[in-house]
Structure 1
Amino acid sequence: MRKNLILGLIAGGIALGGFSSCSNDNATTSRFEVRLTDAPADYAKVLVDIQGVEYNVSGNDGDWKVLPLSRTGVYNLLDFRNGVDTLLAGAEISAGKISQIRLKLGENNSVVTKSGETISMKVPSGSESGLKLNLHAELKAGITYVLTVDFDAAKSVVKEGNGKYSLKPCLRTYEKAVSGAVAGKVTPDTLSATVYLLKMNTVSQKNDTVATSIVKSGSFLIGGLAEGGYTVQVAPAYKYAPKSVQNVNVKVGDIFDLGVVAFQ
């Protein structure tokens, strides 16, 4: 039985990305990442000073939380064209709702023309406090979500005349799914057990162990899994022989629910 992930989006989107898990900590958290990409523009460089990324779980101004940046500083948007992107920020955060994100810009924004001239760009006062994007998304525990922000340089750079430029950011977001998860329950719930996921390596034709999870209270959830077929093995710490469940077909964006693996 599979439980499909449901995402409610107002603007832009959320996506699934990949990570490996070696514990059961992700039963209450999700991996959330923000990535940056761009479309072509008729400049040599478009340099944007990104000083912060924050997310909001309720929509209230007092509920903004910091998403740690990969690096703070100037990004050349034109480095991320034709399907190329870069990680802006990411962290393990509590699973649940995200209402908004915002990008906070600094003052060191500029454009380099085709002739090689570097010209500073003024950012409108409203944008300096943060570029807000509405999401209203539900993050499920054990899944990695990647929000890709397309910072459209061609539309964002405005030529004001007299050789002056301003930056009026034009952003859109979109999603892509690249991972899934496996969940289940071991009974009795007092039984300590280790859960192994084995995936067939098409090169070596041997099973590779891709994730493990220590079960202490019965339930387990292993996320960030690539699409494909797995064998799940549940090995109690004592008394019982391991049990295996074969043909566990993990699909992108889904949590495959094994149900109950019972030991008596």
Structure 2
Amino acid sequence: MTTQKLLQIPFVLLIVTSIVFAGCDSGINADGDTGTMEVLMHDAPANYDEVNVFVERVEVNNSESDEGWIELNSPQQSYDLLELTNGATEVLGSAELPVGTYEQVRLILSSENHSVVVDGKEHSMFVPSGEQTGIKLNVNAEIEPDFTYTMLLDFDAARSVVVRGNQQAGESYLLKPVIKATNEAVTGNIAGAVEPVDSDPFVYAIAGGDTLSSTKADTSNGKFKLIGLEEGSYTVSVDPTNDSYATENVDDVEVSVGETTELETITVPEN
């Protein structure tokens, strides 16, 4: 049910090599003009109580060399990804940069200090090589004078938590980050509500057979918001976790850049 749809989300697991800031061939404006880059994180949901990720630094670069990353911020902070649904975001970093094209962003995660809570029990997660290399994303972000470029990082909690072992021998957990980056300026959103609230559904925006955004409806009022969607037509699929209710789809939902498409309340049928 939910797992099958979550597996449709595009898989973006990126392993990093170091990249440099080389001003001589970078295309960065030498006239002193600057703009701002802001990096926001949000989450694709998962069937856990918590997924806690510790972010050490956020960096960008504007070349293909092997050193010279520019630090946007050093949060040194843990974030529960499952709190970043329904349009909620967390600012990972914001900084003024010389005008030009920045080709990559990377997150430096601690090799420790990550955890997942399953059925009320907390388990530590290990990041293979995370502290040494980080997670690199190709973005080609264009920084313009006196404007803010807002980048959305969709951290897919369900695909990022890897379980090893079994209940008999004992389970362990790895964090292998799966992240998708989009430019907020070229995206729109879909918002609505689901009833009955106790259907407790996941909500997906699907196009061309791929799930491009997902969230969990608010357990108190059934409201949901799917963000970071490129302009186009989507099917909104509501998939209850309460087995007393069945899946309900809304077809041909149009998304326009810079706008939020508001849907009428979606009522899921009983099984």
TM-score (normalised: structure 2): 0.53
Give the CA deviation at 1:34: 0.5
Q: Name the larger-Rg structure.
A: 1
The equivalent residue for 1:163 is 171
Three-state SS of the structure 2 residue aligned to 1:89 is strand
AA in 2 matched with 1:137: A
Q: Distance in 2 between matches of 1:137 and 1:91?
A: 14
Give the CA deviation at 1:92: 1.0
Structure number with greater CO (CA < 8 Å, separation at least 6) is 1
**Does the 8 A contact of 1:39 with 1:81 survive in 2?**
yes
Give the CA deviation at 1:128: 4.5
The equivalent residue for 1:95 is 99
**Does the 8 A contact of 2:139 with 2:181 survive in 1?**
no
Sequence identity (%): 42
Structure 1 residues 123 and 75: CA distance shift in structure 2, 3 A: same
TM-score (normalised: structure 1): 0.55
- Is 1:36 aligned with 2:41? yes
- Is 1:149 aligned with 2:161? no
**Does the 8 A contact of 1:39 with 1:82 survive in 2?**
no
Q: Distance in 1 between matches of 2:95 and 2:136?
A: 19
The equivalent residue for 2:180 is 172
Give the CA deviation at 1:27: 7.4
RMSD: 2.3
Give the CA deviation at 1:146: 0.6
Give the CA deviation at 1:60: 1.5
- Is 1:52 aligned with 2:57? yes
Q: Distance in 2 between matches of 1:126 and 1:38?
A: 19
Q: Distance in 2 between matches of 1:176 and 1:75?
A: 21
- TM alignment of 1:88-237, pairs within 5 A: 88-106=92-110, 107-113=112-118, 115-125=119-129, 128-161=132-165, 162-177=170-185
Q: Distance in 1 between matches of 2:135 and 2:49?
A: 24
Give the CA deviation at 1:176: 2.1
AA in 1 matched with 2:133: S
Gaps of 5+ in 2: 1-11, 13-30, 187-257, 259-271
**Does the 8 A contact of 2:43 with 2:157 survive in 1?**
yes
The equivalent residue for 1:218 is none
**Does the 8 A contact of 2:45 with 2:158 survive in 1?**
yes
Gaps of 5+ in 1: 1-10, 12-25, 179-251, 253-264
Three-state SS of the structure 1 residue aligned to 2:158 is helix
Structure 1 residues 128 and 168: CA distance shift in structure 2, 3 A: farther
Give the CA deviation at 1:77: 0.4
